Amino acid sequence: MAELLAAITKKEEKKEEKEEKKSEAREDMEIIVCDVSNEESLGAMASRTKLVINCTGPFRFLGENVIKQCAERGTHYIDICGEPEFMEKSAFKYFNTAQESGVFLFLNLWACV
């Protein structure tokens, strides 16, 4: 079976919450917890997985570092953003980087459901 990775991002996390998430994980899944406000933490997370699904908002405050690290590190990106300014800015700013990395950036995917 292929290895399954799940990345969870949030602003802060207490040690007890990390342990609780680890105990809820499937045996064949590693949970990667990172700090969405820390580019180094996001970069480390993006380097360890092939796809990030970003549900951390508001995106205009918390989304840019996530999409930037994914585009730069060759990690596919999906989000549920409904903020037009963020989507337009991100598309213009990171499209070329993502294309050079060979990854897709899917913004506003919630509207497709």
Which sequence spans correspond to the domains of the chain?
A: 51-112
Buried/exposed 22-61: b ≥16 CB within 10 Å, e otherwise? eeeeeeeeeebbbbbeeeebbbebbeebebbebebbebee
Q: pLDDT in tens for each of the 113 residues of the chain?
A: 344 445 555 555 565 665 555 556 567 677 788 888 899 999 999 999 999 989 888 999 999 999 999 999 999 999 999 899 999 999 999 999 999 999 999 998 876 55
Token pair for residue 12? Answer: 């802060």
Q: How many C-beta atoms lie closer than 10 Å to residue 4's C-beta?
A: 11
Quote the pLDDT of residue 16. Answer: 60
Which pTM does this prediction carry?
0.75
